[in-house]
Chain A
Amino acid sequence: MEDKNQRAPVSQKAHKVTIPDHPEHIGGSVTIEINEKRITVPMGTTILEACREAGIHIPTLCHHDDLCVAGVCRICVVEVEGMRTLQAACAFPITAPIKVKTSSQTVRKARRHILDLMLSEHYGECYSCVRNKNCELQNLAQEYGVDGFTFGHVTKSKYPVDESSFSVHRDNDKCILCKRCVRTCIDLQEVGVLESIGRGDNTHISTFMDKDLADVICINCGQCINRCPTGALYTNDPSDEIWAAIEDPDKHVVIQTAPSPRAAIGEEFGLEAGHSMTGELNTALRRIGFNKVFDTNFSADLTIIEEGTELILRLYQALVEKKEVALPQFTSCSPGWVKYLEHFYPEYISNLSSAKSPQQMFGALIKTHYAEKAGIDPKDIVSVAVMPCSAKKFECNRPEMVDSGYKDVDYGLTTRELAKMIREAGIHLPEMPKSHFDNPFGDASGAGLIFGATGGVMEAAIRTVVEFVTGNKTEDIFENANVLPVRGFEGIKYVEFPIGDKVGPVPELIKHLVPDWNWLKGATLKVAVAHGTANAKKIMEDIKAGGKFSECHFIEFMACPGGCLGGGGQPIPTNEEIRMKRAQAIYAEDESLEIRKSHDNPYIIKLYNEFLTDGPCSHLSHKLLHTHYTKRGKYIA
């Protein structure tokens, strides 16, 4: 997210005045007056930023910290002395010692009018809206004391609701045309599904040729949902079906929880971002009526073993057997990223790890291994996955995801939807006592946990690969086993790990696959990490051009900015600060755990001893834990 204005769509182009590198130098900053309060800011600061600095509240709607400036909703207008018209605070860069009034009568009247206009076209009732009590328009209506519809209120729906997608639903009747979704889809994610269509009073947000979302190249990342100020975009909510399954005495309902929802769900209950609620959530889920609560981190550990083995095999085939193998290997945990690749770079699907995502691995295990152990007919199991992600809903509905003989995962549930279920059950999550996950999968390692943050899969993989190959402890190389080079919110990270001349013995688990590590002596492992598909695109273009990323061995891609913790199913609002806090919560929890490497997880070892007895990447593991992909292409029929 270095340059928020790159390839911005029309009118959203900020054309910002660049803020000087040294605002402290003469001419680098300017003193302005806001409501008679003097404040000095660097040249080019917007009025909105200056007001925030000065602690003055300015209402906003089209503005979003993650996105480039739009200046279209006009709710943030302020008076600038000497100017005939009001100015949008979000879009006005300060370059002169101006005097600003933020709540004069003209300003207040204008804001109220703008609000009244929006409300006049905003169809639907707040109490039947998914965003009730978390809606920016509703908040403003309250803030400005709206007590009636000055300019009327639509009584008839103008647009049909688009429920075609497994993941993202659209209700244009609630859209206020702030274009945050457009800027998210085009600039932030570079997917390019949504744009303004038509003009004048016909303007609306839509897809190519107004097709259904399911028929265009939407990757289901749901980032648009996270940034929508109203209820115009929301996820496909399966909670009614899940309630029904819970009520059904013949159904055995199990739930797996991913790390990111646990790090964020507290926000839905009024807590500050950055509180992990793993133990509390386990209790709450049992009280709701789930029969078993499993930890997705377990299958994340499994992913590391399977995906890591796959990588080792690819490298072995390429370096020793001199075979044509697709390298670098791409991670496949993020279903948004997978669909992005299928659409935009279908020629590279052989680079995708064939290992399923943790959600789908777990799904296949639950309806086979677990069913057998627990003596339950898999047809009676309803498998739910709590994910930070809207694309997981699409993933579990992929036709190939039935390797257990049944639909491996029945429902993908987002953090927001789960929070709603918990509230519905009358539970206040922060007050829950803590409890552990259920056996036979038990608790998982910290490596599985950090999958939630960008760089996490890579870090988890490195913790295991380093020990597998060198025989050393990860702690010997990285203090406290924290692989800091792959952490952080930088859009693209590139790291080289020299393996050195000392290699260890091949661990028992994969001994049948590679005889020794001598072929890796002196080699350098090159890896990269990208989050947000716009960054993924940069890497893919580099690979296509034969740049440095084409020489990587392993690349972690996450569709969402920040990784899973910034997923499209996470609590709203989102911004970099919130995502940072969620990451801190995840890393803190990892450090608090005893077992922090996937291969040290005793339950993983047990699984390979009892069930997947032929080891990783064996026939059975390929049947249950690996998958294939579809070349979708960009063409929209």
Chain B
Amino acid sequence: MLLVEKNAMTEEIEALVEQFGKQRSSLLKILHEIQKKHRHIPDFAQQEIARLLDIHPVEVYSVISFYAFLNTEPKGRNIVRVCQSITCDLQGKQAVCNAIEREIGCKFGETSKDKKFHLEFANCLGLCDISPAMAVNEKVYTNLTPEKAVQILNQVK
């Protein structure tokens, strides 16, 4: 990380700590914001958060590693999560996944070469009645077919 980037990150975290408060219960809120903006939480950011909340860096890392939606290494710009729970599985998740993998050119658990997409599975998105389902970042798509899934991803910037 460049010094300028570090300074910017520190300022950003200071602002978040200011907004949410210096107590431990702000930790996940802060992590959520950093994750949303940077698509990952770099180790420098973790240490700055730890410093400002007066906890240990390893505690921040421990929390991040617990939650599926937080990660410490950069993934793609858009995170595609296909629901792998039983109903979606029964309604043709596999065919959808195969189509997506072919279209994006990488496997699930991987990031595409152009860093545009990161593919992963999610555990139950709560859309079982309109399955199969997937989420692209915060937005959800339902009643997927292989064609529909590909079409949706093609519209993502």
Contact = CB atoms under 8 A, between A and B. Distances in A.
Interface string B49-84: 001000111110110011000001000000000000
Given A208-B57, A209-B72, A636-B57, A197 B47 contact: no
B43 A636 contact: yes
A198 interface: yes
Given A186-B56, A209-B72, A195 B61 contact: yes
Nearest to B55: A192
Contact of A635 (B47, B58, B65, B72): B47
Given A209-B43, A634-B51, A198 B66 contact: yes
A196 B56 CA distance: 13
Contacts of B58: 192-195, 206-208, 216
A335 to B, nearest CB: 21
Q: Majority SS of interface residues in chain A?
A: loop
B59 A197 contact: no
A192 B58 CA distance: 7
A197 B59 CA distance: 9
Given A186-B56, A192-B56, A634-B51, A197 B61 contact: yes
Given A186-B56, A208-B57, A209-B72, A196 B43 contact: no
Contacts of B55: 192
A9 interface: yes
B3 to A, nearest CB: 13
B47 A636 contact: yes
B62 A197 contact: yes
A66 to B, nearest CB: 19
Of listed A192, A198, A209, residue having the most chain B CB within 10 A = A209
Interface string A200-218: 0000001111000000100
B1 to A, nearest CB: 11
Nearest to A197: B65
Given A192-B58, A194-B58, A199 B65 contact: yes
A576 to B, nearest CB: 25
B66 A192 contact: no
Nearest to A209: B43
30 contacts: A9-B62, A192-B56, A192-B57, A192-B58, A192-B59, A193-B56, A194-B58, A195-B56, A195-B61, A196-B62, A196-B66, A197-B61, A197-B65, A198-B65, A199-B65, A199-B66, A206-B58, A207-B58, A208-B46, A208-B47, A208-B56, A208-B57, A208-B58, A209-B43, A209-B72, A216-B58, A634-B57, A636-B43, A636-B47, A636-B57
